[in-house]
Amino acid sequence: MRAYGIMVVLLAMTALTMPPAAAQQVGTATAVNPLSEGTPPGTATAPLTVGARIIHKEHIHTTPTGTVQLAFLDKSTLSIAPNTSIVINDFVYDPNSGKGHMLTTLTQGALRFVGGALSHAGEASIATPAAAVGIRGGTVTIVIDQHGVHIINQFGIITIHNGAGTTVLNRPGFEVTVLSWNTPPGQPERVTLAEIDHLLALLTSKPWEYGGVLGLHTVDIGACGVLGLRSNNCPNTPWVPTDTGLNNANQIITQGTQFGTGTTAPPPRYPGR
């Protein structure tokens, strides 16, 4: 655990080579279901709302019934499961050059990351108690439970490193489990359908939830959005399975996140902090 803390400090110190990032906005909450909170540095904890500014070094916490999706300035996104705690340790991004770096710490729960510009440059990483996870051009789901840290590759190249070794995971639909910082990462194993079903339920809004967008209704079959207008909470068109069930489920996980990344008109914004 001590090595884990040192690793986080060393990664965060790379910000010293870039322009100061403290107290600046790094992203936006694009979907918030009830009972999710943010704690910007130096201020009190407050409930998150759609459109809320996400600040450098902010702590995000969801209760057992809360979920959040964050969209960052480089177009990457984080979908945060219930009962999860993360910190945006470091986010520096220059849209003109496309350079910078991103470091997020996951201490509890689960998240799904869809990479943006920084990921494509290999400059996005997620720290966990058991391993540092580097993401290049990819989509990854990370889960912490009583059995360790599970890193699932949906797309791209995922580098998993800790005090005992390094594993590169580049096969979509496979996962690596790490028990502790001083235990070597396990061998890649194919994700089971049962696990994918569990993650879909964990990271997807429930039928009665509306992502924090007031007025969003899905009463009629096929209807989605506010007064018939399209919402980021709704897919453009249904995805038709064309491959095996396992690959189908992996694609649903990836596409389900991409639908909410702000690739079209953003949801209505309400005053943030």
Q: Which tokens sit at 159?
A: 């580098």
Whether residue 98 is predicted with pLDDT greater than 50 in this model: the reply is yes
Report the distance separating Cα 89 and Cα 70, nearest Å. Answer: 15
- Give yes or no for residue 191 having a pLDDT over 70: yes
Neighbouring CB atoms inside 10 A of 12's CB total: 17
**Would 163 be classed as within a structural domain?**
yes
Angstrom distance (rounded) from CA 119 to CA 153: 14
The tokens for 40 are 């910007």
pLDDT (average), residues 89-112: 92
The CA distance from 106 to 111, in Å, is 8
- Tell whether 139 is covered by a domain: yes
CA–CA gap between residue 131 and residue 36 (Å, rounded): 26
Inside any domain, residue 125: yes
Judged on CB neighbours under 10 Å (0-12, 13-18, 19+), 228 is: exposed
For residue 166, the domain's CATH number is 2.60.120.1440
Burial grade of 117 (CB within 10 A; 0-12, 13-18, 19 or more)? buried
Q: Which of 26-30, 59-63, 108-112, 235-239 has the lowest mean pLDDT?
A: 235-239
Total domains in the chain come to 1
Q: What is the mean pLDDT of residues 22-50?
A: 79
> Is 32 within the bounds of a domain?
yes
Residues 226, 203: Cα–Cα separation, whole Å: 23
Domain that holds residue 28: 2-194
Cα distances from 141 to residues 196, 215, 216, in angstroms, run 10, 30, 27
Evaluate whether residue 250 is within a structural domain. Answer: no
Has residue 12 been placed in a domain?
A: yes
pTM: 0.70
pLDDT at 206: 60
126 domain residue, yes or no: yes
Angle between helices 193-203 and 245-258 (to 10 degrees): 20
Q: Is residue 98 part of a domain?
A: yes
